Amino acid sequence: MGKLHRKVFIILLPLAAIILFLGYGYYQARQTLNIDHIKQTVQFAAVQGSKEISQTLEAGLAEFDQYDSQISGCHDDSLSIEAIIGGQPFSFDRFAMVLATDPQGNIIYEKSVNQPSQFNSTSLKLKTPFYPFDLLQQLVQVHEQQQAQQAYRQSMRSQVKQTLGTLSAQGQTDTPLARSLNLQLRHLAQVNTQSKALIAYLPAKQVEALALPFTGGTFYLSRPLTNCQGQLIGFYSVIINNQTLEKKLESIRKILEQHQLAHADISVVHNASNAPMFPLSYISLSTLRRQPLSHSPLAREAIDDLGIIVNSPINVTLQSNHSRVLTTPSALQARQFGLNLLIYIPYREMEQDHNVLFDEMAFYILLSLLMFVILSGYLAYTIVSPISYLTHQAQLLASGGDVTIKPLKRNDEIGELSLAFEKMAITIQSKQQSLTEQAHHDPLTGILNRRALLEDATSTIRANASVCMMDLDHFKQINDQFGHAAGDAVLQYFCELVKAEIRTHDIFGRIGGEEFTLVLPQTHLEQAVKLAERIREKTEQHLHTVLTSPAPFPVTVSIGVTEWRSGDFHKVLSRADQCLYQAKRAGRNQVIATTDQPSS
């Protein structure tokens, strides 16, 4: 791959990066949309499920009130609690067990959905009272409050009836007061005389001890039992059947399965302890205990970072004859039952959708990259290849080789470049000879430059020659007083004077600003000195005429001459330069020669 190929690839590389970036962005966006869809689905299922469970529990409360109305009347005192409780029809649709205890809370009767009952009152797990101490105390208080309210209502009815009797004796039966008292009497007759029902949580261990047909904790409702004299003879309770709730949870699971969420934990959680009433498969109990419950059904990442969790409070409307018993009653809202419907979706449930999405994204990215490779190849063929051809021809042209340009039959910038290169090559070849000539001569005077003089002297002359070093006197003053144009004219005229005195095979060149070197092949020192004197004289006589006005100083030349018999040419130049220096020191406008030779 050539440099231009690589550059085209690098130029197009951002396109590939954009393709990858857009593909990744598309994948992330779709993944976010999928997660948002899952969250919305789970939130909807949680809200709907909590409403259905709330309705089921409220129906259970109403059924408990109806059952209580059948057993709370005045019964024959000879009847036992077992006879009172067992003599009434009981539905095991919403309740799993009905039981009765003595005033100390010890179970004396039970009847469960399991027939025959597996209850064993001698079980070590149930030797203690069924009710916790604080609940037992509240049940006693409920009984005492009921008796006090009943006595108050009885007293009020007696007073109202007595007043109505007095009004009737006076013939005031249709007065506003009489009508108000009759209305008050009817209201007292309609007051619900049922005692408050206490709702409490039954832990999983007690559920297991009672041999109920389900696992996990549940709730139970309790009321006091009294005889015809209003005396407390015990308590009775009904335990909510979790199997009824399981049916509701199963309907929630079907909703999730319709949205391809087959693997999920769905349970009812007791707020006070975060204890699940139904078994869990994906979220651990330790994680659940640490998981804070939300007050609203908002789907969020679970505390274990392994799934999405949502909980929806199960709100039950409590009538005036219902109360609650909770471990921390102040931690919950007044109308909240103390339960939450919890749904947990593990992230691995979403992996299949993510894999499908990833495969889709990978397909489109690979297709785009394939198009990128094809585009790169096309550009390389249509742009890089012609440019590479022209580059090769340019390299041949630069090395001095013969260049033959084949015009490209194209009507674009590449074709124009080819035509322009062809014209350029012809122009360069035509000027190459001229440039070569200019490279060896001084552009101002037309004589050899320093490089060409050294090459010619060392390549054509080996020895038996004389060398003259010449330097124009006061040349700096000429430039300063008359200008550089006058100085250039002086240099040019001096060269003409020298060329008029030397032979065609003599080597004359400019090696500095106003310094010149003359190499005289096959010339002895005496002959060279004579030639140097002629040049000095003519310079003194004619060179000043170039100036536009008389100069306040002589326009002359100083010359140093030496003989070159053997040795290095640069050393010869050094000896000639020393002679020139002596001529300058001696007062200028002189020729100084030396015959000193270096030791061989």
pLDDT at position 333: 39
The reply to whether 150 and 274 lie within a common domain is yes
Report the alpha-carbon distance of residue 239 to residue 64 in Å, rounded: 10
The reply to whether 454 and 357 lie within a common domain is no
The reply to whether 348 and 470 lie within a common domain is no
Q: Which of 459, 587, 461, 469 is nearest to 528 (CA)?
A: 469
The answer as to whether 337 is a domain residue is yes
HEC sequence for 73-131:
CCCCCCCCHHHHHHCCCCCCCCEEEEEEECCCCCEEEEEECCCCCCCCCCCHHHCCCCC
CB 260 within 8 A of CB 241: no
The answer as to whether 497 is a domain residue is yes
The answer as to whether 22 is a domain residue is no
Report the alpha-carbon distance of residue 139 to residue 466 in Å, rounded: 141
What number of other Cβ atoms are within 10 A of residue 315's Cβ?
17
Report the alpha-carbon distance of residue 238 to residue 54 in Å, rounded: 17
Cα→Cα distances 353→259, 306, 536, Å: 11, 16, 104
The reply to whether 358 and 456 lie within a common domain is no
The reply to whether 344 and 471 lie within a common domain is no
The reply to whether 473 and 356 lie within a common domain is no
CB 130 within 8 A of CB 205: no
Domain boundary among 321, 341, 362: 362
The CATH number of whichever domain residue 490 belongs to comes to 3.30.70.270
DSSP state of 382: I
CB 593 within 8 A of CB 525: yes
Give how far the C-alpha of residue 582 lies from the chain's centroid of Cα atoms, to the nearest Å: 83
pLDDT at position 82: 72
Domain boundary among 327, 362, 397: 362
The reply to whether 147 and 279 lie within a common domain is yes
The reply to whether 354 and 457 lie within a common domain is no
What are the pLDDT tens digits along the chain (600 aa)?
Answer: 566 666 666 777 787 778 777 777 777 787 788 888 888 899 999 999 888 888 888 888 888 887 777 777 665 666 677 777 766 677 777 888 988 899 998 988 888 877 644 444 433 345 678 898 888 998 999 888 888 888 888 888 888 888 888 888 888 878 888 888 888 888 877 666 677 888 888 888 888 888 888 887 888 889 898 887 778 888 989 998 888 888 888 999 998 888 888 889 998 887 777 778 888 888 888 888 888 888 888 888 888 878 889 999 887 765 545 554 433 333 333 334 578 899 998 887 777 666 777 777 788 778 877 887 787 777 777 776 777 777 777 777 777 666 666 766 777 777 777 777 777 777 777 777 676 777 788 989 999 999 999 988 888 776 689 999 999 999 999 999 999 999 999 999 999 999 999 999 999 999 989 999 999 999 999 999 999 999 999 999 999 999 888 888 999 999 999 998 878 888 999 999 999 999 999 999 999 998 756 544
The contacts of residue 226 (CB under 8 Å, 6+ apart) are 72, 143, 146, 147, 232, 233
The answer as to whether 136 is a domain residue is yes
Phi then psi for residue 298, to 5 deg, are -110, 120
Domain boundary among 314, 347, 362: 362
Report the alpha-carbon distance of residue 79 to residue 254 in Å, rounded: 49
The answer as to whether 261 is a domain residue is yes
Q: Which tokens go with 364?
A: 């489109």
The answer as to whether 384 is a domain residue is no
The reply to whether 90 and 213 lie within a common domain is yes
Report the alpha-carbon distance of residue 503 to residue 440 in Å, rounded: 19
The reply to whether 174 and 318 lie within a common domain is yes
The answer as to whether 254 is a domain residue is yes
The answer as to whether 165 is a domain residue is yes
What number of other Cβ atoms are within 10 A of residue 516's Cβ?
26
Amino acid at 531: L
The reply to whether 467 and 589 lie within a common domain is yes
- Number of compact structural domains in the chain: 2
Provide DSSP, 218-229: EEEEEEEEE-TT
Domain that holds residue 278: 41-362
Report the alpha-carbon distance of residue 34 to residue 43 in Å, rounded: 14
The CATH number of whichever domain residue 254 belongs to comes to 3.30.450.20
516 forms bridges with which residues in the sheet? 470, 510
The reply to whether 152 and 250 lie within a common domain is yes
Q: Which tokens go with 532?
A: 């140097």
